[in-house]
Structure 1
Amino acid sequence: MYLEAKRLLKLALSPVLMLLSLFSTGAWAEQVERWQTNMTPGITEVGHQIYDLHMWVFYICVVTGIVVFGVMFYSVFAYRKERHQEPATFHENTRVEIAWTIVPFLILLFMAVPATKTLIEIYDTDDADLDILITGYQWKWKYEYINPEGDNISFFSNLSTDGAEIANTEAKGSNYLLEVDEPVVIPVNKKVRFLVTANDVLHAWWVPALAVKRDAIPGFINESWTKATETGVFRGQCAELCGRNHGFMPIVVNVVEEPEYKAWLAEKQAASAEVKALMAKDFSLDELVERGKSVYTTACAACHGANGEGGIGNAIAGSAIATGPIKDHIDRIVNGVAGTAMPAFGSQLNEVDIAAVITYQRNAFGNNMGDMLQPVDIYNFKKGQ
């Protein structure tokens, strides 16, 4: 009996002891921030308008609740049976009916006017300084900067959190599952329009600090916009359940000063021009394998295993595709397999990377086929389809 009572006392005191430990270690502030339930205003004017609207409606609801419950509790207390043996007998009261019609109407009006103004602002995507086409894939994002005066630049943004952290063999970093290899870069104090769509299933592009959340729907383009007023790194996630790796397609947006943005853009344009130049180059086997290994790690390892052992996808080591006719291998990479998790990489990777990753797969993991592809081979395959 004594031991049972001691155990129950310990269970009862455990929440108190936990709170004391939080205070003593300084972790309380972190817990409050992590588990806060209110919205944040973010770094845009629209975000502040949304936050102010949210708080305005919240305060109206609080006042309404206090008044309604106050009247209810007062009535229960003041007109209880012990004090008034004879209840009032009335069937209708025109004044009360008019009041409970007009008052809610006025309350809704006080909420509707600012809400309408904010919604109009949210959906005003005109006069943008920059357009970015965002396409959701399982499970990554493609960004294409639309340049009306020249070539567009595009790139894929993949999760870059170390696999050891995901497997719990290393300590998780402060930005666990919120890191990418290629962040979006936009200039501060410029209106940026986002054109959001998807290639396969439903996704949703959501960055709270930028006050942007738009569904990515295959075959449709939804618009949104932002105008950041502060520089910094801001993170978001896919907000639509899109499959097994839904939690592994984060969003990172770097808001920078305009000179830094122009320098980044020039670097991306130079890289794009370099890829075009590489299209005419004949690579050695070692060069293709080295590049292909990097591409495989980024685009293939999550499904096929770091050592080609398989997982979500089939094993590469000794597979009929990687050791069979090379044309079938190209077709599998370029066109994917309909109805499976194998996507079509023809629109996701350039010809150089496709040639490299196929060469790597056919010569790694014990396959040792000795085959080698050049970018022009991939170009001719696509052209002949």
Structure 2
Amino acid sequence: MKAGRIKQWAAGLTALALPVLAFAQQHAGDPTSPHPWQLNMRRGVTQISHNAYDAHMIALWICVGIGILVFGAMAIAMFKFRKSRGAVPDVDFTHSTKLEVLWTVIPIVLLVAMAFPATHKLINNYDVRNSEMTVKVTGYQWMWKYDYLGEGVSMTSRLKREDDDLRQSGRVPTLEADPHYLLQVDNELVVPIDTKIRFVITADDVIHAWWVPSLGWKQDAIPGLINEAWARIEQPGIYRGQCAELCGKDHAFMPIVVRALPKAEYQQWLAAQKAQPAAAPAPASPAGVNPTAPAANAEPATAAAPNSDATTAPVAG
């Protein structure tokens, strides 16, 4: 019995310590990169992601406070007023109107206090006014197509050939050999930092979802419908994501890689893409790609992006 109680106390203390561990873990190392045994969500590299993280932490600590009060009261009641200590049930107890009002009003006040800033931030997530550039994202089975509207640059982005070969080879991948297994693409989406980027998102066949956790949002890509979102990336880097809507047998093999560059480097990259001749459609589609997809989604000719092993190619606009 004593050993059982010790285990129960240990489990309770561990549960109470999880928020503290999550908070400490978030601030150790790179806050934008996932790592093994990560407990907390990442803070991200956009204002939207910061808003989501802050709202999450506020709600988490409120829940921790409520948990301490509720389980603390339960512990006091169970141990201080247990039968072995001679406690006798009060059969004449009647409900306290003041207590009933108190524990009804307090949760309402907490919910309203959290709802107002959350609603304001949620509305801000969809405010695409004053955008400085627009990228059209189209989902296909099973790849993405990016169009830099007004620039005459387009590209398809699908799972990198080496990862595709590895997954079909039967070999067991290791973290050391391939730290970004199934999260690498042939053509990265290259964007500038400190720029409000408007994303218009749709699909050509079935419902997909474009999701890069470090940007702080995900958006459904629905055939015949255009959804909007925006991002202003604060620091250069590579940010990875995946399709977040079950879209078919190769749903797990639709990674997303966003490379954020300083503005000057981005302009150099964009000029290089415009200077290249239009790419001719490839004669064959890779494994897992719908052979009936439009010719615009065929494998493009490639050219190296700056500071990257990824490749991109323009399509005449």
What TM-score bracket applies, with the shorter chain setting the length?
A: 0.7 to 0.9
Structure 1 residue 153: Cα displacement = 2.0
When residues 260 and 88 of structure 1 are mapped into structure 2, their CA distance, relative to the original with a 3 A threshold, is same
Match for 1:155: what amino acid? Answer: M
1:43 paired residue number: 45
Structure 1 residue 57: Cα displacement = 0.5
SS of alignment partner, residue 198 of structure 2: strand
Structure 1 residue 88: Cα displacement = 4.2
Match for 1:60: what amino acid? Answer: I
1:346 aligns with 2:309: no
Alignment of 1:204-353 (within 5 A): 204-271=209-276, 274-275=277-278, 295-296=282-283, 300-303=285-288, 341-349=290-298
Match for 2:122: what amino acid? Answer: L
Q: Which structure has the highest helix share of the two?
A: 1
Alignment of 1:47-86 (within 5 A): 47-82=49-84, 83-86=86-89
- Contact 1:161–1:177 (CA under 8 A) maintained in structure 2: no
Structure 1 residue 303: Cα displacement = 4.4
1:382 paired residue number: none
Cα distance per residue 1:157-215 (max 9 Å; x no partner):
11114144221458552221111111111111001111111111111111111213111
2:154 paired residue number: 154
Match for 1:140: what amino acid? Answer: M
1:5 paired residue number: none
Alignment of 1:124-135 (within 5 A): 124-135=127-138
Match for 1:159: what amino acid? Answer: L
SS of alignment partner, residue 93 of structure 2: coil
Cα distance per residue 1:325-381 (max 9 Å; x no partner):
xxxxxxxxxxxxxxxx5433234249x99xxxxxxxxxxxxxxxxxxxxxxxxxxxx
Structure 1 residue 86: Cα displacement = 4.1
Identity %: 41
Structure 1 residue 142: Cα displacement = 0.5
Structure 1 residue 154: Cα displacement = 1.5
- Contact 1:206–1:214 (CA under 8 A) maintained in structure 2: yes
1:281 paired residue number: none
> Which deviates more from structure 2 when the two are superposed, residues 130-139 or residues 258-267?
258-267
Match for 1:241: what amino acid? Answer: L
1:179 aligns with 2:184: yes
SS of alignment partner, residue 55 of structure 2: helix
1:108 aligns with 2:93: no
- Contact 2:48–2:217 (CA under 8 A) maintained in structure 1: no
Cα distance per residue 1:94-147 (max 9 Å; x no partner):
111111111111221232233223212222221111111100000000001111
Match of 2:206 among 201, 208, 219: 201
> Which deviates more from structure 2 when the two are superposed, residues 69-78 or residues 167-176?
167-176
Match for 1:165: what amino acid? Answer: L
Q: Which structure has the highest strand share of the two?
A: 2
SS of alignment partner, residue 77 of structure 1: helix
- Contact 1:143–1:154 (CA under 8 A) maintained in structure 2: yes
Structure 1 residue 41: Cα displacement = 0.5
Taking the aligned partners of 1:244 and 1:35, their CA distance within structure 2 comes to: 28
Alignment length (residue pairs): 263
Cα distance per residue 1:251-290 (max 9 Å; x no partner):
111100111111211222223xx22xx8xxxxxxxxxxxx
- Contact 2:136–2:200 (CA under 8 A) maintained in structure 1: yes
Match for 1:344: what amino acid? Answer: A
Taking the aligned partners of 1:194 and 1:81, their CA distance within structure 2 comes to: 64
- Contact 2:250–2:288 (CA under 8 A) maintained in structure 1: no
Taking the aligned partners of 1:231 and 1:43, their CA distance within structure 2 comes to: 9
Q: Which runs of 5+ in 2 are unaligned?
A: 1-28, 302-317
- Contact 1:188–1:231 (CA under 8 A) maintained in structure 2: yes
TM-score scaled by length of structure 2: 0.76
- Contact 1:46–1:122 (CA under 8 A) maintained in structure 2: yes
1:18 paired residue number: none
Q: Which runs of 5+ in 1 are unaligned?
A: 1-28, 279-290, 305-340, 354-385
Taking the aligned partners of 2:154 and 2:203, their CA distance within structure 1 comes to: 15
- Contact 2:142–2:288 (CA under 8 A) maintained in structure 1: no
Supply the RMSD in Å over aligned alpha carbons. Answer: 2.5
Alignment of 1:7-22 (within 5 A): none
SS of alignment partner, residue 237 of structure 1: strand
Structure 1 residue 237: Cα displacement = 0.8
1:165 aligns with 2:114: no
Match for 1:175: what amino acid? Answer: H
TM-score scaled by length of structure 1: 0.63
